[in-house]
């Protein structure tokens, strides 16, 4: 008795071909497709001398030493083929070789695949069945919800990627271990390259923009959100242990914040944009934003009701759930003038906002037209290295918050007072990034011991 493995000439879009199994036993000669697909590059044809002393060829499967999803798939498929042959051997014991009916091998292979599917279906439901329930029990800002939606879409695309290798694959809680997290990390880092090879993945679970190479901080943020979901699942008894105990999330690293000076802000206020009236509106909103210092998500929620006797009252959305605190910011003359300029009883919003993305585009253009183009040193999010860029090319809405914090701290040098206006926790590490000790303060400190 002998088994022969052959490889189909047709390959799928992932570059895999189906294996066929041939059984030779006396006069019995049956062949069947196995449904097992393997990367053609992981096979080779080998010549050998058969039991009848004839020259013969056979397919040999080898697993590359490089540990990547393709090699892991080959290892799994090789194991599956061995299980199939063992199963056929076991079923064969019930027959006399002369009693084996026509088509027996095909029926036996089909029976094996059915049993494998039954094992798969007996597993717990997909994690996606629980994600909505997790978010319903979590009070977070709209921005944070969007971030969770991003990691959810990544997980769905990762599942599709794994289904290239195993069409029955589903992400279930019992699969989420350190190895799973490592494979997910590999996928996230290389997603832009992988979906170019398999475009159907992004077509099935699209993004508003094609995923590009992601920085370490971005990837760390994804895994922190996934960890929140996993810890919730553990608290609900859906998973027995915390897989993140054996998987280290890379610590987020940020460069020194850059912001514009009061002189540069005045330069932006005074630039003539009469030929661009729509851009002039966004310039005024940006200047108001610099005078208020809130996050852009909070800025967009402001209405006329938030302004009481010249003071803006609001609860920061980011801290609304954990530590709700009303932040009160008196408006200076510049900010009050802008509020009065755009007062409109027919509009609920305090100012005529546009989308966040268009607002960011407008800010870059405003900086350019105002001549605020000095170079700043930033940390490249992909390489982690410092690089020099013109400030107008990288300006965004968050620079308004940094401008507010940086300039007030420069004048008053009291973190606790500034945090009362910015909404930061006084001793927060995040706040520390906003309060770079500038050169004037350094000179003042050194002069104190002169």
In this predicted model, what pLDDT tens digit does every residue of 267-282 receive, in sequence order?
Answer: 999 999 999 999 999 9
Number of other CB atoms surrounding residue 52 within 10 Å: 6
- Work out whether strand 43-49 and strand 55-61 pair parallel, antiparallel, or are unpaired: antiparallel
342-387 pLDDT, tens digit each = 999 899 999 999 998 999 999 999 999 999 999 998 888 777 788 9
- Work out whether strand 311-315 and strand 326-330 pair parallel, antiparallel, or are unpaired: antiparallel
- Kindly provide the b/e burial profile for residues 270-289, where b requires at least 16 CB atoms within 10 angstroms of the residue's own CB: ebebeebeebbbbbbbbbbb
- Kindly provide the b/e burial profile for residues 164-195, where b requires at least 16 CB atoms within 10 angstroms of the residue's own CB: bbeeebbbbbebbeeebbebbbebbeebeebb
Among the listed residues 401, 399, 398, 367, the one whose alpha carbon sits nearest the alpha carbon of residue 291:
401
Mean pLDDT of the chain: 85
- Work out whether strand 307-308 and strand 55-61 pair parallel, antiparallel, or are unpaired: unpaired
Among the listed residues 282, 266, 275, 289, the one whose alpha carbon sits nearest the alpha carbon of residue 366:
282
Count of CA atoms in the C-beta half-sphere (13 A) of 220: 12
pLDDT surpasses 70 at 436:
no
Q: Band of the pLDDT at 430, cuts 50, 70, 90?
A: low
| Burial class for 259, CB neighbours closer than 10 Å (0-12, 13-18, 19+) | buried
Angle CA(10)–CA(15)–CA(18) in degrees, nearest 5?
Answer: 45
Task: Take residue 411 and report the two structure tokens written for it.
Answer: 């004048």
- Cβ atoms of 331 and 311 within 8 Å: the answer is yes
- Cβ atoms of 217 and 253 within 8 Å: the answer is yes
pLDDT surpasses 70 at 38:
yes
Question: Domain boundaries in the chain?
Answer: 2-121, 128-246, 262-447
Length of the chain: 450
Among the listed residues 155, 161, 374, 112, the one whose alpha carbon sits nearest the alpha carbon of residue 258:
374
Q: Band of the pLDDT at 120, cuts 50, 70, 90?
A: low
- Considering 49-58, 127-136, 332-341, the range whose residues carry the highest mean pLDDT is 332-341
| Burial class for 430, CB neighbours closer than 10 Å (0-12, 13-18, 19+) | exposed
Q: What is the mean pLDDT of residues 326-330?
A: 90
Residue 307's φ and ψ, nearest 5 degrees, are: -100, 110
Dihedral sign of CA atoms 227, 231, 232, 237 in order:
positive
Among the listed residues 85, 77, 71, the one whose alpha carbon sits nearest the alpha carbon of residue 22:
85
Among the listed residues 426, 430, 387, 414, the one whose alpha carbon sits nearest the alpha carbon of residue 295:
430
Q: Band of the pLDDT at 40, cuts 50, 70, 90?
A: confident
pLDDT surpasses 80 at 295:
yes
- Cβ atoms of 320 and 143 within 8 Å: the answer is no
- Cβ atoms of 277 and 405 within 8 Å: the answer is no
Among the listed residues 196, 125, 187, the one whose alpha carbon sits nearest the alpha carbon of residue 153:
187
* Pick among 1.50.10.20, 1.10.3720.10, 1.10.443.10, 1.20.1560.10: CATH of 262-447: 1.10.443.10
Q: Can you tell me which residue has the tokens 């088994």?
A: 3
pLDDT surpasses 70 at 153:
yes
The 3-class SS string of the chain reads CEEEEEEEEEECCCCEEEEEEEEEECCEEEEEEEEEEEEHHHEEEEEEECCCCCEEEEEEECCCCCCCHHHHHHHHHHHHHHHHHHHHHHHHCCCCCCCCCCCHHHHHHHHHHHHHHHHHHCCCCCCHHHHHHHHHCCCCCHHHHHHHHHHHHHHHHHHHHHHHHCCCCCCCHHHCCHHHHHHHHHHHHHHHHHHHHCCHHHHHCCCCCCCCCCCHHHHHHHHHHHHHHHHHHHHCCCCCCCHHHHCCCCCCCCCCCCCCCHHHHHHHHHCCCCCCHHHHHHHHHHHHHHHHCCCHHHHHHCEHHHEECCEEEEECHHHCCCCCCEEEEECCHHHHHHHHHCCCCCCCECCCCCCHHHHHHHHHHHHHHHCCCCEEEEECCCCCCEEEEEHHHHCCCHHHHHHHHHHHHHHHCCHHHHHHHHCCCCCCHHHHHHCCCCHHHHHHHHHCCC
Q: Which of 66-75, 223-232, 274-283, 439-448 bottoms out in mean pLDDT, i.e. has the lowest?
A: 439-448
More confident residue, 334 or 5: 334
Task: Take residue 350 and report the two structure tokens written for it.
Answer: 């305090």
Separation between Cα atoms, residue 340 and residue 365, nearest integer Å: 25
pLDDT at 243: 92
pLDDT surpasses 70 at 175:
yes
pLDDT surpasses 90 at 428:
no
């Amino acid at each position: 008795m002998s088994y022969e493995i052959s490889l189909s000439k047709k390959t799928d879009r992932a570059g895999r071909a189906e294996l066929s199994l041939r059984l030779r036993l006396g006069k019995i000669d049956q062949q069947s497709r196995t449904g097992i697909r393997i990367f053609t590059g992981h096979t080779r044809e080998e010549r050998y001398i058969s039991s009848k002393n004839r020259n013969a060829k056979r397919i040999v499967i080898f697993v590359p030493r490089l540990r990547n999803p393709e090699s892991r798939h080959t290892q799994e498929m090789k194991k599956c083929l061995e299980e199939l042959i063992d199963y056929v051997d076991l079923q064969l014991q019930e027959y006399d070789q002369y009693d084996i009916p026509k088509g027996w091998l095909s029926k036996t292979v089909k029976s094996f695949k059915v049993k494998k599917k039954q094992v798969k279906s007996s597993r717990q439901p997909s994690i996606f069945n629980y994600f909505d329930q997790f978010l319903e029990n979590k009070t977070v800002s709209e921005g944070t919800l969007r971030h969770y939606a991003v990691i959810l879409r990544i997980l769905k695309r990762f599942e599709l990627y794994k289904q290239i290798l195993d069409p029955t694959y589903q992400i279930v809680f019992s699969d989420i271990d350190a190895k799973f997290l490592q494979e997910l990390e590999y996928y996230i880092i290389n997603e832009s390259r992988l979906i170019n090879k398999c475009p159907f993945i992004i077509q099935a679970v699209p993004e508003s923009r094609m995923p590009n190479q992601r920085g370490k901080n971005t990837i760390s943020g994804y895994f922190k959100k996934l960890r929140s979901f996993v810890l919730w699942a553990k608290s609900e008894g859906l998973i027995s242990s915390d897989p993140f105990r054996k998987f280290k999330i890379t610590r987020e690293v940020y460069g020194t914040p850059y912001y514009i000076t009061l002189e540069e802000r005045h330069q932006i206020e005074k630039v003539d944009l009469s030929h661009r009236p729509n851009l002039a509106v966004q310039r005024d909103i940006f200047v108001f934003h610099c005078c208020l210092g809130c996050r852009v998500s909070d800025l967009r929620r402001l209405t006329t009701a938030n302004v009481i006797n010249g003071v803006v009252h609001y609860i920061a959305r980011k801290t609304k759930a954990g530590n709700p605190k009303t932040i009160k910011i008196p408006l200076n003359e510049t900010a009050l003038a802008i509020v009065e300029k755009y007062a409109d009883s027919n509009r609920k919003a305090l100012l005529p906002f546009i989308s966040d993305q268009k607002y960011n585009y407008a800010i870059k253009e405003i900086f350019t037209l105002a001549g605020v183009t000095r170079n700043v040193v930033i940390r490249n999010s992909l390489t982690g290295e410092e690089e020099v860029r013109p400030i107008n090319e990288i300006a965004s809405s968050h620079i308004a918050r940094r401008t507010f914090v940086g300039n007030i701290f420069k004048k008053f040098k009291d973190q606790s007072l500034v945090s009362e206006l910015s909404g930061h926790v006084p001793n927060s590490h995040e706040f520390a990034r906003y309060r770079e000790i500038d050169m004037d303060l350094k000179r003042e400190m050194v002069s104190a011991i002169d």
